[in-house]
Structure 1
Amino acid sequence: MVMARPAAGGGRWVEISPERIRGWLDGFYGRHDGATEQGLVLTGVSNGDTATLYPPPGLADAQDVDMLLAGILRPPRIAVLLARKGAVAAGVADGTTLTVSKVERFYVQGRTAAGGSSQQRYARRRANQAGAATHRATDIAARVLLPYAPGAHDPHDDAVSALVCGGDRSMIDAVLTDRRLSPLARLRHPHLLESAEPRLAVLQDAAITARRIRVHLMP
């Protein structure tokens, strides 16, 4: 699958599944009468268009196109954490397969149109419920994901090589401030996935989306 959208500051982002990246690269070379390569930046010969490739989570060591193509042949094991005020989903993915997962929903009261003291009371209640949801989400992330953090596994087993997050950035940030999760927080991939309310199907889709190679095309 190839997905495209405009990029802030110019150009556009293209997200390409590992299965299609070789064909996409061949197409780029063909459309530009070849290309020069400098690390993960391709520059078209015909007009100077550039394509900057960003490796998927777990392949941060890929410094050039050949290393990237070699790395995607054996998909790395990654942790996935999705969180919104109403739910959390955590799992470990080998390629596109979730080997462990947990999804839980929370109740957080919606906003009210009431004014005065009623509005303040509802706001306090909502804040308390949101805080409790964040605490429960943190416990779930620790229970499900920490056993797969680097250092927690037998040396012969593969720990996760990256943590992919999605959903509400502020809630994710709050969850990852917990000291228990510091081994995973250090592996956090900078790209935040867009996510609907976390469900098992949404978590499965996130594991697939996280594998895509992101490409910034200019112009």
Structure 2
Amino acid sequence: MQDNRQVLVQPERLAGWVERFGERNGNFSVEAAGAVVVLRAVNGCTAELTAPLSLVVENGPPDVSDEQTALDALIQAASTPATVGLLLIRRGGYAVGVSRNGKLVASKTGTRYVQSRTAAGGWSQQRFARRRANQADALVETTVDRAQAIFEGHRLDAVQAGGDAPLVADCLEHPRLNCYRKLPALPLLTVPDPRREVLVKAAADARAVRVRLTGIPVS
């Protein structure tokens, strides 16, 4: 059997992670293209490493004949100083902020109730659905208000969203946040109910190397 998964690795821990990858899976080859490095181990396990904060590497792909050069280039790309707008939203709460080099520099969190789906039918179901939609709209409006106030004081390089994908899309499609859709968007984070500690972790994760593992041997 094989297993697939994705993990986030901070740039300063990447060298150690790669060393442990080799210890677990044996010798591996290195392929590099821009901000992506792929490790292919002899046991069939593959790790695709992506530096999300460097969507374009100015100097082109690193020399794939040199493993250390490729990994050093990836670490440098992930460590590039950047200011990121954070937008986390789930039913019932939001957290917005700005991070600089992985550290939270401005933030706002809050809660707003959105009713769960109901199994009731007929008129009651329609009434609950309308109420739920109104509550979700109110949550989006509040989140947009807070995000606009936080974001406009900073020059953002990218946006990191997390939580409920449809609610995130509603926020970023709002006219007052539409300008931020032109920025590089980092992969959506899976987060628990947005609180300050969740936002702090999202700030760190925004600069993490995304590692997609496939073909992991399962004993």
The alignment status of 1:126 with 2:132, answered yes or no, reads yes
Question: Which residue number corresponds to residue 53 of structure 1?
Answer: 49
- One of 162, 170, 173 as aligned partner of 1:174: 170
- Further displaced range: 130-139 or 27-36: 27-36
Counterpart residue type for residue 13 of structure 1: Q
SS in 1 for 2:207: coil
The alignment status of 1:14 with 2:20, answered yes or no, reads no
1:99-118 Cα offsets, whole Å, 9 max, x none, are 10011211223344554433
Question: Which residue number corresponds to residue 194 of structure 1?
Answer: 190
Distance 1:49 1:126 in 2: 45
- One of 146, 157, 161 as aligned partner of 2:157: 161
Counterpart residue type for residue 17 of structure 2: W
More strand by share: 2
Counterpart residue type for residue 35 of structure 1: S
Count how many residue pairs are aligned between Structure 1 and Structure 2.
200
1:169-191 Cα offsets, whole Å, 9 max, x none, are 00000111123323311224251
8 A contact 1:49–1:218 mirrored in 2: yes
The alignment status of 1:38 with 2:44, answered yes or no, reads no
The alignment status of 1:136 with 2:131, answered yes or no, reads no
SS in 1 for 2:157: coil
Q: Give the superposition deviation at 1:48.
A: 6.3
8 A contact 2:83–2:99 mirrored in 1: yes
SS in 2 for 1:67: helix
Cα RMSD of the aligned pairs, angstroms, is: 2.6
TM-score relative to the length of structure 1:
0.77
8 A contact 1:165–1:188 mirrored in 2: no
Q: Give the superposition deviation at 1:126.
A: 1.9
SS in 1 for 2:126: helix
Counterpart residue type for residue 208 of structure 2: R
**Distance change (3 Å), C-alpha of 1:117 and 1:49:** closer
SS in 1 for 2:183: coil
> Gaps (5+ residues) in structure 1?
149-158
Question: Which residue number corresponds to residue 81 of structure 1?
Answer: 87
**Distance change (3 Å), C-alpha of 1:84 and 1:188:** farther
Distance 2:128 2:51 in 1: 45
- Further displaced range: 80-89 or 209-218: 209-218
Distance 1:127 1:73 in 2: 41
Distance 2:39 2:116 in 1: 50
Q: Give the superposition deviation at 1:206.
A: 1.4
Counterpart residue type for residue 200 of structure 1: R
Distance 1:22 1:80 in 2: 27
- Further displaced range: 180-189 or 32-41: 32-41
Question: Which residue number corresponds to residue 26 of structure 1?
Answer: 19
SS in 1 for 2:96: strand
Distance 2:28 2:110 in 1: 50
**Distance change (3 Å), C-alpha of 1:114 and 1:36:** closer
**Distance change (3 Å), C-alpha of 1:209 and 1:38:** closer
